[in-house]
Structures are given as structure tokens and as C-alpha cells.
């Protein structure tokens, strides 16, 4: 696999990266970063072509998202989550999809948690609930979320097997109350706010289903298992951040003389040995991830079906990439010295970003300790 710099134009990288300090202080992306994202149409990579999107094959888009996280963790994170939620355009009824996604700046934020209630009323639903961590809230034009189906008497509806029923829903940003409470150490510019809706009515067409292939689009993107899609796209964000850290650390190897040493950092045996070990493991794991992804995507496009073993292999490759990416940063950080303690230094920012990113459920070692597909709901 090529280095992320081979994927992202130099001018784009400079715009996104140079604005990082301002974005972190602001708690949201800057005007320059947003304009770059809109001009490059990064949020439209998975919107159907008939809505003006790119409908980009999964492996190509994943490599792009890794490059964006390499340029800047917060930018890569919100574009990844926003483009991933914009994928829902392919699952919505055509009228709703046109309403929400024909705008070139369409941006979906939201949550996969099922913490809301949906009561069927007047050919639509009355929605109430609150959700956490909607990345990109400051820039979103719509919000998506999951909610349980509730009857008029407040009872939870169940299917023939006795299981509670839930669906995914979309509402315009104007119908949402945003709670700007993202006070964290890393990914500070992602505006990953909580949000709520209170007795909001929406038409039936604004409900959609991610638990089955789309009935509206035949393209492979909209028939790919969504949970596996989320595992793939979450893990690659840590890889992009780790790659940026490795690049910054390599500069230190060639320029920094640690206190008490008469040689460069890269010429100290313990550092050189650790660097070589980490570089090798990271590249091997990354290559294995991309190889698995390309094979899974090829088989999905060719046959329209993936076996449980294929899904498990992809889950394992994604989990290993996330773990090795985090460990690479953790093992190299102690060699950075005082250079990396300053909040605005790239090494410090990346360290903070990747440690926040590592707490996402889908890259947690608890999640990847399971031996089969989880029943976790991601939206």
C-alpha cells in the first residue's frame, strides 16, 4: 500500500493540517477546512450517483479516509463519520433521499445507539430521545439515529420472534437540540456533541433500515453488511493517525539530540531497534488489512454474498490494525522527550487524538474479543 501522501494532494494536506491549531481551539473545523472538504466532495463519496454522489468503491474510499486522518485526526474523523452517515442516502426512500442529500453540503451526523422512542402517528412517527457523540454536529444539515418502536400505550413493539423492533430515522438539523458538551482531551475539533429531539413528527419516508440490504439501490455499497462497513471505516482512522505520528517521529530521529546524548535520537540503539520493530509490524498489519478488505469487497461485488468466515476475517484484520496503530504511538511516545508535551505540537495532538479514537466501541479490545459478528447496532 502506498503512503497516504500519495493519495491526498499536497495543497489539500496543507490546508487541512495548517488549520489544526485554530480548529482545536475553536472546537470545530475552520472555514478553510470546510471549504476544502466541500470542494473536494469528500462527504459525497458514498452517496448514490443518481443523487450526484461518487458511489466510490469501498477500498478506494477507505484509503482516502486514512489519508485524511493522516493529514489531521479531527478532519479525518468527522469526514469519515459524515460520509459514512451520508451512505444512508442509498437506504432511504427516493423522495427523502433527494430532500436530504441533493445539497452539495449535505452532512449527516448522528448516533448508532438505540436510545429514542418512535410512536407511529398520522402516516409518520413522533420521535423523542437523546443521543451522544454525534461527530460533526456543528456542520450537520441532518441527524440520523435509532429508536425503538412504541405503541400508543407506551409499550414496546416486538416482531414475531418476540424481539423488540427498532428503526433508523432522519430529521433535519433544525428539528434537533444540540448540547455542545464535547470537553475532551483529543479530537477536540470534531464537535461530537450530544443531541436530542422532543416530540418531533416526521413522515414515514424518513424512516430507513440498515439491518438489511437496501430495497432502493442495487449497488454493492448499499448491500454490504453495515456492521462490517463500520468496523472497516472505524479502524482505518487510527491507522491514519498512527501514520502521521510515525512521520513526525521519523523527523525527530533525524534532528533531535536527547539531553545527555551526543548523537541523534535515531542513532541510539534502543530507539533504532524499537523504531524498526514498530515500523515493520505496522506495515505488515496494514497490508494484511488492505489485502483482506480488497478480497472481501471483490467477493461481495462478484457474488453479492459474504460468508461468516469472511466477515470474521475482516473484523479480525480491522481489530488488529486498530490495536497495532495505537501500540505504535504508545511505544514511540516515551522517546519523544519534552518536544511532545506541548499541546500544539503535532506529536502531542496525534497522541491525544488517537487515544480518544481508541475508545470507540468498534475498536475496543472488548468488542474484538468476541469470536463472531456482534449484535451491536451501529447507525
pLDDT, position 377: 43
Are residues 42 and 13 in contact, defined by beta-carbon separation less than 8 angstroms? no
HSE-up of residue 58 (Cα within 13 Å, Cβ side): 29
CA-to-CA distance for 137 and 234, rounded, in angstroms?
18
Mean pLDDT across the chain: 96
For 90-149, the pLDDT digits (tens) are 999 999 999 999 999 999 999 999 999 999 998 999 999 999 999 999 999 999 999 999
pLDDT tens, 247-288? 999 999 999 999 999 999 999 999 999 999 999 999 999 999
pLDDT band at residue 378 using 50, 70 and 90 as cut-offs: very low
pLDDT at position 189, please? Answer: 98
pLDDT at 217: 96
Task: Give the per-residue pLDDT at 257.
Answer: 97
User: Which are the contacts of 6, defined by CB distance < 8 A and separation ≥ 6?
Assistant: none
CB atoms within 10 A of CB 180: 13
pLDDT digits (tens, 9 = 90+) for 309-328: 999 999 999 999 999 999 99
Cell readout for 70 is 493522516
> pLDDT > 70: what percent of the chain?
97
- Say whether pLDDT at 360 is over 70: yes
pLDDT of res. 369: 85
Angle among Cα 204, 165, 311 to the nearest 5 degrees reads: 105
pLDDT at 371: 55
Q: Is the pLDDT of residue 334 over 70?
A: yes
**Taking a C-beta distance cutoff of 8 angstroms, is the pair 12, 40 a contact?**
yes
Task: Determine the pLDDT at residue 152.
Answer: 87
H or E element at residue 278: helix 269-303
Amino acid at each position: 500500500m502506498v503512503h497516504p501522501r500519495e493519495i491526498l494532494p499536497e495543497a489539500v494536506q496543507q490546508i487541512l493540517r495548517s488549520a489544526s491549531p485554530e480548529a482545536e481551539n475553536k472546537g470545530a473545523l475552520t472555514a478553510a477546512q470546510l471549504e476544502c472538504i466541500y470542494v473536494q466532495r469528500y462527504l459525497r463519496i458514498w452517496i448514490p450517483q443518481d443523487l450526484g454522489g461518487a458511489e466510490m468503491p469501498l477500498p478506494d474510499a477507505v484509503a482516502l479516509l486514512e489519508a485524511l486522518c493522516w493529514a489531521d485526526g479531527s478532519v479525518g474523523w468527522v469526514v469519515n463519520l459524515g460520509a459514512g452517515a451520508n451512505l444512508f442516502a442509498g437506504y432511504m426512500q427516493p423522495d427523502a433521499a433527494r430532500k436530504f442529500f441533493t445539497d452539495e453540503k449535505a452532512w449527516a451526523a448522528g448516533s448508532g445507539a438505540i436510545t429514542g422512542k418512535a410512536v407511529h402517528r398520522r402516516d409518520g412517527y413522533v420521535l423523542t430521545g437523546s443521543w451522544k457523540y454525534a461527530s460533526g454536529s456543528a456542520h450537520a444539515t441532518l441527524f440520523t439515529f435509532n429508536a425503538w418502536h412504541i405503541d400508543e400505550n407506551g409499550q414496546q413493539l416486538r416482531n414475531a420472534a418476540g424481539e423488540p423492533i427498532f428503526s433508523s430515522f432522519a430529521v433535519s438539523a433544525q428539528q434537533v437540540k444540540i448540547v455542545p458538551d464535547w470537553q475532551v482531551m483529543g479530537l477536540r475539533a470534531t464537535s461530537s456533541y450530544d443531541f436530542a429531539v422532543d416530540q418531533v413528527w416526521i413522515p414515514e419516508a424518513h424512516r430507513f433500515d440498515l439491518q438489511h440490504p437496501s430495497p432502493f439501490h442495487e449497488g454493492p455499497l448499499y448491500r454490504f453488511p453495515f456492521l462490517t462497513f463500520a468496523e472497516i471505516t472505524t479502524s482505518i482512522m487510527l491507522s491514519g493517525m498512527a501514520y502521521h505520528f510515525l512521520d513526525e517521529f521519523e523527523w525527530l530521529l533525524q534532528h533531535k539530540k536527547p539531553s545527555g546524548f551526543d548523537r541523534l535520537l535515531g542513532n541510539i540503539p534502543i530507539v533504532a531497534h524499537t523504531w524498526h520493530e514498530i515500523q515493520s509490524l505496522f506495515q505488515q498489519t496494514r497490508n494484511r488489512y488492505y489485502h483482506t478488505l480488497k478480497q472481501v469487497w471483490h467477493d461481495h461485488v462478484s457474488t453479492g454474498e459474504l460468508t461468516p468466515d469472511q466477515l470474521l476475517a475482516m473484523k479480525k484484520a480491522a481489530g488488529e490494525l486498530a490495536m497495532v496503530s495505537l501500540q505504535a504511538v504508545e511505544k514511540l511516545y516515551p522517546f519523544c522527550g519534552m518536544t511532545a508535551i506541548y499541546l500544539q505540537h503535532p506529536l502531542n495532538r496525534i497522541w491525544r487524538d488517537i487515544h480518544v479514537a481508541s475508545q470507540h466501541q468498534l475498536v475496543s479490545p472488548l468488542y474484538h474479543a468476541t469470536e463472531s459478528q456482534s449484535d451491536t447496532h451501529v447507525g
